[in-house]
Amino acid sequence: MSEFVLEHEVSGPLHTNCYLLYDKKSKEAALFDVGGKIKHLISIIEDENLKVKYLFCTHAHFDHMGGLKDIREKYPEALLAFHKNELFVLENQGFFARIFQFDSSLIDKLDVEVEDNQTLKLGDLEIKAILSPGHTPGSICYYFNDCLISGDVLFRSGIGRTDLYGGSYEVLMNSINKLMKLPNKTKVYPGHGDFTDIGTEKEENPFIGSEDILM
C-alpha cells in the first residue's frame, strides 16, 4: 500500500492553492496548479529528494498556471497534464490575465491529455481524473485515497464561477452532482480558500440542495 504525503502552498496574485503530492516509497511526486512561486514546496522536493513526474492543472486559467514557466525550466522531465479542452481556454485568457502579464505561449506543449476516468500513478498511488466541466470546458478534479483536488469546481460553501470563457452553470451543477456521489469522508482540497469534505458540502453548501443531489 502506498504511503503518500500531500502538502500545499498559497501562490500567485489570486492566492491559488498549489499542491504537492508524493509517494514516500518511490519518491515520485506531482504538482497541482502552480499559480506562482512555490518556494516552500520546492524546498520539500529538494529536502525529500523527490522526482517530479507530473505537473497537473485542474484547468487553464492564468492564476492556476502562472508559475509553470519557471517550474518547467526547473523540472524539465516533468509532464504537463490537463484536458485537451483547456487548450481553448489557454488561448482565450481574459482581462485579468493581461493585467498580470500572463503569456500563455510560455506554457509550451501539453505532454499528457488527461481523459475522464483516466488513472495516473505515482509509485503505487493511483490518481483518478474526474472530468468536471462548467467552470471551464475541460476542468478536471483529481481523486485519490479519499482526497479530491477540486480546482475551481467546488469550494468550501461555494462553487466555481461560470461567467468566464466556456463556463456554464447548468454544466457545472451536473459536475458537482457527480462529485457529491463520492464518499462523505472525502477530503476536498479546492483551488482557493479552506479545505472541506463532501459530507459537509452536502449539508452546508448553499448551492447544493438535497433536491440537486441525484442518488
Say if residues 151 and 158 touch (Cβ distance below 8 Å): no
pLDDT at 178: 96
Ranges of residues in the chain with a pLDDT under 50 are 210-215
Instruction: Say if strands 112-113 and 79-82 run parallel, antiparallel, or are unpaired.
Output: parallel
Contact residues for 117 (Cβ-Cβ < 8 A; gap 6+): 128, 129, 130, 131
Residue 152 C-beta-side C-alpha neighbours within 13 Å: 25
Write down the pTM of the prediction: 0.92
pLDDT at 137: 96
pLDDT at 102: 61
Say if residues 188 and 196 touch (Cβ distance below 8 Å): yes
CATH 3.40.710.10 fits 4-212, yes or no: no
pLDDT at 214: 41
Say if residues 149 and 32 touch (Cβ distance below 8 Å): yes
Q: Which of 157, 156, 198 is nearest to 177 (CA)?
A: 198
Q: Which of 53, 72, 56, 50 is nearest to 19 (CA)?
A: 56
Phi, psi of 59 (to 5 degrees): -165, 175
pLDDT at 213: 44
The Cα 117–Cα 114 span in angstroms is 9
The Cα 158–Cα 179 span in angstroms is 14
Residue spans of the domains in the chain: they are 4-212
The Cα 133–Cα 56 span in angstroms is 16
Name the strand (E) or helix (H) holding 29.
strand 28-32
Residue 18 C-beta-side C-alpha neighbours within 13 Å: 27
Q: What is the pLDDT of residues 29-82, one digit of tens each?
A: 999 999 999 999 999 999 999 999 999 999 999 899 999 999 999 999 999 999
